[in-house]
């Protein structure tokens, strides 16, 4: 066997013909590349995993106002009637009616709201950014979308399992990027799966990661 530690066994070795086994290997690899290339189009039509979103130009302030109006209208109240918020930054917990619009205007370095969704219902998420590119990644499911200032990316989301999901930014957005974590609740009021008021959900089976 030849290694780079030994002298070159034959001058102009790169001019030699390609061996049969190598030709077979290159053909297999190249064919597979082509198969995978065209299969990417197939995934758009097969399965439900691909989001074909729409996006629209918006103004950054206009979009942020929409989110503020939504929070004013749909922020949940806790047992004592105070607006429900979590964490040291008092992130509002917001539940819009099924079919409603959920606006998320991300910014450095926090997710501005904690959405509450009913399982099996479809919501229209509007995703954008107030400063720079952020990534919308919902864990533990594989969902990665890009949030760009000045664009409203529309995502139709129908959660199929209750629980507490994690929201992380997957686009490096500055020194505090790693702090940009949030959450999303999926509840099932009809079957008694509701917020426990302590950062989790209670009742029934909990499908999402805690």
Task: Give the binding site for Cu ion (CB under 5 A).
Answer: 134, 169, 173, 177, 180
In angstroms, the CA 99 to CA 70 distance is: 14
| Shortest CB 173 distance to Cu ion, Å | 3
CA distance 29 to 177: 38
Looking at the Cβ atoms of 116 and 183, the one nearer to Cu ion is: 183
Residue 93 or 173 with smaller CB distance to Cu ion: 173
Give min distance, CB of 98 to Cu ion, in A. Answer: 29
| Tokens linked to 16 | 């030699």
Sign of CA dihedral 173, 127, 168, 87: positive
Burial (CB < 10 A; 0-12, 13-18, 19+), residue 117, is buried
Shortest separation between residue 148's beta carbon and Cu ion, angstroms:
13
- What is the closest distance, in whole angstroms, from the C-beta atom of residue 154 to Cu ion in the complex? 21
CA pair distance 136, 140, nearest whole angstrom: 13
Residue appearing with tokens 């780079």? 4
- Pick between residue 167 and residue 169 the one whose CB is nearest to Cu ion: 169
């Amino acid at each position: 066997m030849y290694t780079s530690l030994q002298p070159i066994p034959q001058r102009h070795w790169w001019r030699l013909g390609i061996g049969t086994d190598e030709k077979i290997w290159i053909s297999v690899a190249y064919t597979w590349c082509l198969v995978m290339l065209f299969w990417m189009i197939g995934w758009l039509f097969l399965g439900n995993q691909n989001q074909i979103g729409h996006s629209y130009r918006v103004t950054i302030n206009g979009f942020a106002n929409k989110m503020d109006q939504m929070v004013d209208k749909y922020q949940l109240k806790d047992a004592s009637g105070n607006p429900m918020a979590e964490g040291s930054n008092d992130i509002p917990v917001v539940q819009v009616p099924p079919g409603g619009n959920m606006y998320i205007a991300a910014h450095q370095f926090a997710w501005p709201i904690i959405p509450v969704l009913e399982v099996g219902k479809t919501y229209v998420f509007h995703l954008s950014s107030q400063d720079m590119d952020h990534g919308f990644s919902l864990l533990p499911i594989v969902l990665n979308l890009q949030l760009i200032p000045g664009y409203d990316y529309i995502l139709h989301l129908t959660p199929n399992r209750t629980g507490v999901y994690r929201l992380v930014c997957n686009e490096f957005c500055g020194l505090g990027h790693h702090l940009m974590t949030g959450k999303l609740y999926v509840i099932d009021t009809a079957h008694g799966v509701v917020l426990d008021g302590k950062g989790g959900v209670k009742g029934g089976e909990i499908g999402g990661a805690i």
